[in-house]
Structure 1
């Protein structure tokens, strides 16, 4: 609409309102309606401008650093699957000869911090594509239609940026896609339902013969929450699990993040990988960074294994706190933690890494374990051993003080969770059952019988090592930290003298 017609309409409207007021008509409601309409118009217009600007920012401001698959550690299987899928973009002549339809979407699933975003950036480099990234939360707004508009703008900008850069393809990456891609319940029409519908429409509009080609990648920690229409073939054709790295993968990741850090010659990354069981790639990067901070804080020229061990404790438990406990509390905590350590060494020799009395996070003391090798399947004997280790802190307190403390609360929660796993896996005397048919009384009965039986076993195991408690207690109260090697030496001396 030209400026002339805008001025004509505005002038005509003012004249009409003036005439209505002259003849005695109440124009106050009309003025209020016009004011509200004007405010809504400018609000929606400003949101639209932000959406367009946001799309430009995704395409222009989030271009990743040069990142290749070789620089991503611990995900060899995921990288292999992803490269195979990306070859549909790279080897276009070959797939055309076989009549293969290129993939439209790749969904990366797995725990937080495992490298899903890094894989998407490496995918853009591997395919020589423009990279456009966004988070699912950026498309959810109070105003209806804004999220859908941002989806359209993102795909439009991806095509424009690819054409401008002379690229034949673009990778569009949406992190936390479950925010907009959750299951629709068929109830009240919601804003993010419109956003999801627009995303589905855009994916259906991606033609395999058009140029530039668009490959959409997405990441989520909760695949089970996604709408079935989103993850069906023809939309997200390939689902790739990006899981926590194994020991070999952890060592590779640590090596990548140690390249620019001065490590002491005695540092063995394989040992650090053993001690960091269950860590994600992001946590391992934090371990190397925190170790460097510890070395700098102590004005050391190189990072030692002690710095790395402290960094693992910090990432796992949190920073040391300034809480000052009484001597009686410190002795009780030390006895509690030594109970965990003794039973752990008896059940799984060589698994104790550190026994510490220094408070970290919410814990007044802790025992850090590390398995000799990664394990993913568990037998009844293994899980009962884990319960014994969890109960041994409370058992040690009863041995020396005749009662327990609130410090065992977390241990009991852990033991109850293991019991639940055993019941659901058919590893109890109940046999193979449907856990949903278990009543609260049934859960209480099986849990009580198992935990009481294993508590008696735990007390029997610890009763024969009272001298080890006393010899380790003096060291722990004085030094606050007892290494696994030194603890095992004390244990060998105790066994020889028995």
Structure 2
């Protein structure tokens, strides 16, 4: 209805009501019927998803209509392989006439998979800038509704929105980005029809209806952390043609990300981002951005004009383990924690020389103390001996407590969980006496026996190792309790000066 029509209707209704009252009619039933009708119209309008880009409350979804932030592939670090693969797929959208000569069908969908915080959403935004396309985005949760058919209606509206905006802005293409697609694209289990299934069916229908020869051309980019949860009909060629893994960055990638996020921060000339990239193995791009941000916060908190290396080290600890807590431990508890952490550090230093970056007695998160390790290089494959060394490092804390107190404490719980996971990894990799087996086909008794044999053997080896360096505990204990922090270099000096010479 036009604006003029609405104004005429608003003026006409009160005039008719006043005339009927003047003539002596009882207008109350008519008003009641009108009110009920208006209420029903409002419910249908807001819940039916009839308008483009409408959310569950009836208001236009700002996320669907908001233009993307300016983002290019140069602003995304640590994903050279994924960016190259995505650019190739996007070139099919840009160079349409050229690929048409080779009979190449442009891709309909691209699925970005990988851990959280690796830059999947950023890559979708950069794709829109790269192709000069309209960017329309939505989250999987926006299609979930208790009212039947609403999710499917919103899928239709999303595609209509992409085509309409592309035509309005005179664009040749539109990129439709769906984040967390596993919410609506999960595997269909059959049986009772679910609202999720109707939404997924509508998405599949819309993707089949994309004619890549028509203008504007639509490319769907979706992101998920759980690819294994998606329905096979969604993953087949002709729908999501490309599956691009956006993985955690390696050392070179981490350095690139740190350099990007340090451009607007005053770094001290002596600051080494290369060292930070070495100490952040397993960090995602989002975590690395947080490291730089937290380091700047520490610098501002301490009144420094520049961000220094200690600020970056503190930021790594905070992102990894949480902020320092005000937890007050007793003197005896602090001594036990110190011995526990020194046990980890001594074993780590002997099985992996120069790997200890810091020994700390400062409570962070749920930990009363911790040892930060500095991997020499990124590692993705492990031998049996290397896994055994990792288990010995994890067991070092509890063995140290047994040496000095005659028993363990609850502080070893997380260490034991890590040890059991690593033993399970050995079983799955065929590195135990069981040979090459499927763990699901091994009885619980057999697994318990293997766990006990491996952990008892490694515990004994750890005890023998730490007994040789009992003097290191004595030399380091008072310093750690007093200073609360031992740097890796300080710790190595103490280990070397108290090392027992081997007999000839």
TM-score, normalisation: structure 1: 0.91
1:19 aligns to what?
A: none
Q: Which runs of 5+ in 2 are unaligned?
A: 13-33
How far residue 60 of structure 1 moved from its aligned partner, in angstroms, is: 2.7
Aligned-partner Cα distance in 2 for 1:197–1:137 = 16
Query: Separation in 2 of the partners of 1:180 and 1:297?
Result: 44
Name the structure 2 match of 1:221.
225
Q: For the residues of structure 1 that align with 2:212 and 2:315, how far apart are their CA atoms?
A: 48
8 A contact 1:51–1:149 mirrored in 2: no
Matched, 1:374 2:378: yes
Q: Secondary structure at the match of 1:354?
A: strand
Of the three residues 183, 187, 196, the one matched with 2:191 is: 187
Instruction: State the match for 2:164 in structure 1.
Output: 160
Structure 1 equivalent of residue 18 of structure 2:
none
> Residues 463-494 of structure 1, C-alpha deviation per residue, up to 9 Å, x if partnerless?
01111111111111011111111111111212
Partner residue, 2:266: 262
User: Partner residue of 1:403?
Assistant: 407
Residue in structure 2 matched with residue 46 of structure 1 by the alignment: 46
- 1:308 and 1:153 map into 2 onto residues whose CA distance is 46
Unaligned 5+ segments in structure 1 are 8-33
Q: Which residue of 1 aligns with 2:203?
A: 199
User: Aligned pair in 2 of structure 1 residues 405, 59: CA closer, same or farther (>3 Å)?
Assistant: closer
- Judged with a 3 Å threshold, the aligned counterparts in structure 2 of structure 1 residues 395 and 40 are, in CA distance, closer, same or farther, namely farther
SS in 1 for 2:148: coil
Alpha-carbon distance in structure 2 between the residues aligned to 1:109 and 1:37: 48
1:129-188 per-residue CA deviation (whole Å, 9 max, x = no partner) reads: 011111000000000111111111111111111111111001000000000000001121
From the superposition, tell whether residues 49 and 389 of structure 1 become closer, same or farther in structure 2 (CA, over 3 Å): same
Cα distance in 2 for residues equivalent to 1:205 and 1:38: 36
Correspondence list, 1:245-284, <5 A:
245-284=249-288
The residue matched to 1:174 in structure 2 has which SS?
Answer: strand
Within the alignment, does 1:470 sit opposite 2:474 as a pair? Answer: yes
Query: Over residues 397-455 of structure 1, what are the superposed CA-to-partner deviations in whole Å (9 max), with x where a residue is unaligned?
Result: 01111111000000000000000010011000110111111122111111011100100
Which whole-Å CA distance do the structure 1 matches of 2:378 and 2:478 have between them?
A: 34
For 1:35 and 1:466, locate their aligned partners in 2 and report how far apart those are by CA, in whole Å. 85
- Give how far 1:36 is off: 9.9
Asked if 1 retains the 8 angstrom alpha-carbon contact of 2:178 and 2:223, the reply is yes
Aligned to 1:355, what secondary structure does the other structure show?
A: strand
CA displacement at 1:93 relative to structure 2: 1.6
User: Does structure 2 retain, via aligned residues, the 8 Å contact 1:283–1:315?
Assistant: yes
- What corresponds to 2:139 in structure 1? 135
Q: In structure 2, how many angstroms separate the alpha carbons of the residues matched to 1:299 and 1:329? A: 34
2:403 & 2:381 partners in 1: Cα distance? Answer: 33
* Partner SS state of residue 495, structure 1: coil
Q: CA deviation at 1:51?
A: 6.4
1:387 aligned partner: 391
Q: Is the 8 A contact 2:52 2:161 kept in 1?
A: no
The aligned residue for residue 495 of structure 1 is 499
Matches within 5 A, 1:172-183: 172-183=176-187
1:58 and 2:69 correspond: no
CA distance in 2, matches of 1:93, 1:337: 64
SS in 2 for 1:181: coil
Q: What SS class does the counterpart of residue 151 from structure 1 fall into?
A: helix
Which residue, 98, 112, 116 being the options, matches 2:116?
A: 112
RMSD: 2.3
Question: Quick check: 1:56–1:157 contact (8 Å CA) kept in 2?
Answer: no
Aligned pairs, how many? 474
CA distance in 1, matches of 2:204, 2:271: 51
Displacement of 1:57: 2.7
User: Does the 8 Å CA contact 1:274/1:372 hold for their aligned counterparts?
Assistant: yes
How much has 1:49 moved relative to structure 2?
6.1
